[in-house]
Amino acid sequence: MSNYKLGLEFAKQQDQNDELSSYRKQFHIPKDNNGNELIYMTGNSLGLQPKITKDYINQELDDWANLGVEGHTEGKHPWLHYHEFLTETMANIVGAKPMEVVVMNSLTANLHFMMVSFYKPTPKRYKILIEADAFPSDKYAVESQLRHHGYDDKEGLILWKARKGEELANYDDLETIFNQHGDEIALVMIGGVNYYTGQFFDLKRIAALGHKHGCMVGFDCAHGAGNVPLNLHDSGADFAVWCSYKYLNSGPGSLSGAFVHERHAHRKDLNRFTGWWSHNKQTRFKMRDEFDQLPGAEGWQLSNPPILSMAAIRASLDVFKAAGFDKLCEKSRKLTGYFEFLLDELNNSDIKIITPRNPDERGCQLSIQVKNADKGLHNKLTKAGIITDWREPDVIRCAPVPLYNSYMDVYGFVERLKTILN
């Protein structure tokens, strides 16, 4: 869609024509001290709470109160199998087969568990490749894995850097890295959508390139899950991890998702950490049996999961299922394109969009780089009732999330920004 127009009436008309507009009413929108709804554009950091979440959690609290331990088998949604209630919808969102997906643990913990299995260094091939501006937790995690295996965490880390004067990573440079160091790289671990620039990487291209050079390939999709069509199965990646509290609206610090490609589903030769929840479900409670590994992504579980967190995830996934992820992605492209159009129309040299212009290379996040940044502009936006997030050294990240943001939100944001800039 390129026929965007300026003015309030256009925004109102788009919201009236939006078949997903009613979903906004299914979320709690934060308000200011006077009861006015804030313009919330930071679902890339913490998604808003669906109104049904409280009911979903209360159901489990009631079952706990009324059934005690019997809630594991007699509850409305028995706790023993609770993670299975999330699998199909989650798999659909990330583009995977149900067998390839499990919800468990927290994000960086899952990243470490995946690296236990898929980072297998040898004296010749031990290096790890990440994007230079990866989310800090990813960098810390891979550095610690290098140290754990006895390697120098600076010498063993290869960074895919943007070119000087540019913000976005370039695939030609990635190919050059592989041509020069491919036989030294054991693991490629890239953020599926870069947290800072919002660049959505071509997962299939990266995975094919890594595999061509004999590397294992994984992705941290924290900023991709629920935001862009990841198509993890078709990407060919060995593994992926993601959190559920950003675009998947499951609440602060909620559980993470993990993907393991089906070609690894029955591999018992892969090193892994294990626990009783990765043991055969039929004999798990016999307690005396030798370990019998579950096939698929479930075979990476360790412990029985926190049900209250999973209830919040189930609530959000039910909203996604009702809305339809393909429709959400379609709205996202239009809404983000409109946001881009209005920002461009400001024609202000103090701000610049550093997120890719190609809609196929981004989700709903636009990163606005601020000239001579001192966080002042971000603070003024906050005072004006706009919730975004600031990332050092000079970027305001803004995400018009299709589930609950409107064209009027985008219009209101840019109008207030215009006033501040002028």
**For residues 313-335, average pLDDT:** 98
**Domain boundary pick from 304, 334, 352:** 304
Domain with 242 in it: what CATH number?
3.40.640.10
**For residues 219-245, average pLDDT:** 98
Q: Which helix (H) or strand (E) holds 340?
A: helix 325-346
**For residues 161-176, average pLDDT:** 97
Q: Are residues 177 and 268 in the same domain?
A: yes
Closest CA relative to residue 95, chosen from 253, 204, 249, 182: 204
Residue-wise pLDDT tens digits, 82-103: 999 999 999 999 999 999 999 9
Residue-wise pLDDT tens digits, 172-228: 999 999 999 999 999 999 999 999 999 999 999 999 999 999 999 999 999 999 999
Amino acid, single-letter form, for residue 242: W
Number of domains in the chain: 2
Share of the chain above pLDDT 90, in %: 95
Give a yes or no: residue 336 inside a domain.
yes
Q: Is 367 helix (H, G, I), strand (E, B) or coil?
A: strand
Q: Are residues 205 and 280 in the same domain?
A: yes
330 by Cβ neighbours in 10 Å (0-12 / 13-18 / 19+) ranks as middle
pTM of the model: 0.96
20: containing domain: 8-48+324-421
Q: Are residues 374 and 238 in the same domain?
A: no
Q: What is the pLDDT of residue 373?
A: 80
Q: Is 322 helix (H, G, I), strand (E, B) or coil?
A: helix
Closest CA relative to residue 188, chosen from 163, 162, 220: 220
Residue owning tokens 């060995």: 238
State both tokens at 76: 């409305």
The β-bridge partners of 190 are 219
